[in-house]
Amino acid sequence: MTATATLTRHAPDNADSRVVDWVDSIAELTQPDRIVWCDGSAAERQRLLDEAVAAGTLIRLNPEKRPNSYLARSNPSDVARVESRTFICSEREDDAGPTNNWAAPAEMRVTLTGLFRGAMRGRTMYVMPFSMGPVGSPLARLGVQVTDSPYVVLSTGTMTRMGADALAQIGPRTEWVPAVHSVGAPLQPGDADVAWPCNETKYIVHYPETREIWSYGSAYGGNAILAKKAFALRIASKIGEQEGWLAAHMLLLKVTNPSGRAFHVAAGFPSACGKTNFAMLKPSMPGWTVETIGDDIAWMAPGPDGRLRAINPEAGFFGVAPGTGHSTNPTAIATVQSDTIFTNVALTDDGDVWWEGLTEETPSHLVDWLGRDWTPDSEAPAAHPNSRFTVSADLCPSIADTWDDPAGVPIDAVIFGGRRATNVPLVAQARSWEHGVYIGATLASERTAAAEGTLGELRRDPFAMLPFSGTHMADHWQHWLTVGERLGRSGQAPLIFQVNWFRRGEDGRFLWPGFSENSRALAWMTERIEGRADAVDSPFGLVPVDGAIDYAAAGVSREDWDALFAIEPEALSAEADDTDVFLARMGAKVPAAVMRQHAEFRARL
């Protein structure tokens, strides 16, 4: 019996032979000291937590302040997604498109084989079977990730349905996504595995045709929790294209009006556009309720009834901490009250956590994310700007009772939104599915600080998928059009809307209060679905008639309300010129429907 066979002989009896053989092959390459097949049990999780605390990789927080919660501090060089080291290795470069990094698959395999050879020496390889979506759902898909990071195991256990139930779903003919991860820091005799391990060399690689993911050198969530962006968006966008469904970087929510009718909404926003706040919205309007289904990713497929049905493929939230506070998102704060792993936030003197924006009052002393003493006079922030919390979705007070329904929820509306100081109105309805795809394809946010680029410069983020599409972006647009044609034949395609909470006046202040008042725009959308609200035409689509939204109740003056919908033809014409350049960059694959809608937008100006 070989050393590898000895390591894997404890694979569960029900493990499919293909999975066992694959694990054998990765163990042969990476040479771990032992292999653990994760069962996803509470006992297993507690054992890993206790071991991490003993090793110094996690700090147990004050159980009275933050029960069953922990703080992790990463290597300062390993704090975010590394888009420059993220590759789509499709067989043809053209299939990756101009927005992705591409490398020839055969060449990349040679590179990665060299890096992974012996990479887990001295460490434990954990085998994590997982389901994206409720186990057994027709909309769910399966994967198996191996990793040498206990932090990744704990995070994956929160973010997916990981363990024995998922493994039992993989039979001899079941499709599953293989994912390999290593921190790339093999232990030598005498080394102590205490500090957050990583490697200066980093690769996050996707092979769309074989549906594989390989990640090396990073332990940060977006690079290492491969079920999340890597599988649920990059690989899933290719699978969905082949199978006729949509992988979308979108939140999912359920909104119920005062008469008790429920609507389900999918919404795509680029970063810093209020996505999590909208997913956990507390309406300002009496009688309305909003419930959370998902805050980040949606998988949507035409159902047997002809309607677009959606699941949240994740089981948890991997949220950005800074800016999340009692005043901006009390629901998120209640969600992380217990059973949470925080990464790179500050530690209070009484064993709790803190970050910028959590409270109005700043503590007089903290230990910052680097483990240093911190006071309000310190030059650097106490928490890293990309610090995170990882918590189960079922702990969210606003979670809908249908959030993990295996059948998914029927989508009534799709929303796109960006951070726009000018040009784009508060809310507008697309004239058609085709027009809505054009809105999503040309989605943009304006840069808000000179440090991020030229102030006011447009940053295109089509479908909020710029860093996350595993296909050519124009192919992604065409796929949305194709799914829309299928839905159109059933007469049940969702309406598509565009929103902008961030328009500013000439004096620089926001014209719309946002947050809970966004429910007023959401209510108008649901009334459009019901056919109860009137609209008038504009270059952007259909906008509310005067009186359709009670803006005065939101504290907005008539002057500001008019400014929220003001049309500036010269500015919009210049933006159309910028769109010309953007679409030209996408090349010959841009769908004719998108070009047609762009021409119509120009004509309406």
**CATH number where 329 lies:** 2.170.8.10
Distance CA 154, CA 388 (A): 14
Neighbours of 114 (CB within 10 A): 10
Using alpha carbons, list the distances in angstroms from residue 386 to 73, 80, 271, 321, 496.
12, 7, 12, 7, 31
pLDDT at 7: 57
Whether the Cβ atoms of residue 280 and residue 292 lie closer than 8 Å to each other: yes
Which tens digit of pLDDT belongs to each residue from 562-590? 999 999 999 999 999 999 999 999 999 99
Q: Which ranges in 380-517 belong to alpha helices (H)?
A: 433-441, 473-490
Give the residue from 194, 200, 173 showing the smallest Cα distance to 85.
200
What length does the chain have? Answer: 605
> Catalytic pick from 38, 89, 198, 273?
273
Q: State phi, psi for 459 to the nearest 5 degrees.
A: -110, 110
Q: State phi, psi for 429 to the nearest 5 degrees.
A: -100, 135
10 pLDDT exceeds 90?
no
Which tens digit of pLDDT belongs to each residue from 56-110? 999 999 999 999 999 999 999 999 999 999 999 999 999 999 999 999 999 999 9
**Identity of residue 244:** G
150 pLDDT exceeds 80?
yes
Does 324 lie in the same domain as 215? no
Which tens digit of pLDDT belongs to each residue from 167-177? 999 999 999 99
pLDDT at 456: 61
3-state helix, strand and coil shares in percent for the chain, rounded to the nearest 5: 30, 20, 45
pLDDT at 450: 32
Residue after which a domain boundary falls, among 393, 410, 443:
393
69 domain-assigned? no
Does 166 lie in the same domain as 18? yes
Q: What percentage of the chain has pLDDT greater than the value 90?
A: 92
Question: Which residue ranges make up the annotated binding site?
Answer: 81, 220-222, 229, 249, 271-277, 296, 386-388, 419, 515-518
Distance CA 274, CA 514 (A): 9
pTM score of the predicted model: 0.96
Residue after which a domain boundary falls, among 244, 263, 285:
244
Which tens digit of pLDDT belongs to each residue from 456-478? 678 999 999 999 999 999 999 99
Does 526 lie in the same domain as 383? no
Which tens digit of pLDDT belongs to each residue from 280-315? 999 999 999 999 999 999 999 999 999 999 999 999
pLDDT at 490: 85
Query: What is the arithmetic mean of pLDDT over 363-367?
Result: 98
Q: What percentage of the chain has pLDDT greater than the value 70?
A: 96
Number of domains in the chain: 3
Burial of 193 (0-12, 13-18, 19+ CB in 10 A): middle
23 domain-assigned? yes
- Give, in degrees to the nearest 5, the angle at Cα 339 between 79 and 214: 40
Does 205 lie in the same domain as 93? yes
Question: Which residue ranges make up the annotated binding site for substrate?
Answer: 81, 220-222, 271, 386-388
Confidence category of residue 194, pLDDT binned at 50, 70, 90: low
566 domain-assigned? yes
State the residue range of the domain holding 384.
Answer: 317-393
103 domain-assigned? yes
Told to judge if 38 belongs to the known catalytic residues of this protein, a careful annotator would answer no
168 domain-assigned? yes
Does 447 lie in the same domain as 468? yes
Q: State phi, psi for 206 to the nearest 5 degrees.
A: -125, 135
62 domain-assigned? no
Does 204 lie in the same domain as 134? yes
In CATH, what number is assigned to the domain containing residue 305?
3.90.228.20
Does 374 lie in the same domain as 411? no
Does 411 lie in the same domain as 378? no
Q: Which residues of 286-297 are buried (b: 16+ CB within 10 A; e: fewer)?
A: eebbbbbbbbbb
Residue after which a domain boundary falls, among 244, 259, 292:
244
424 pLDDT exceeds 50?
yes
Does 311 lie in the same domain as 328? no
Whether the Cβ atoms of residue 199 and residue 183 lie closer than 8 Å to each other: yes
Question: Which residue ranges make up the annotated binding site for GTP?
Answer: 272-277, 388, 419, 515-518
Does 124 lie in the same domain as 52? yes
Question: Which residue ranges make up the annotated binding site for Mn(2+)?
Answer: 229, 249, 296
Whether the Cβ atoms of residue 179 and residue 208 lie closer than 8 Å to each other: no
Which tens digit of pLDDT belongs to each residue from 217-248? 999 999 999 999 999 999 999 999 999 999 99
pLDDT at 190: 63
In CATH, what number is assigned to the domain containing residue 148?
3.40.449.10
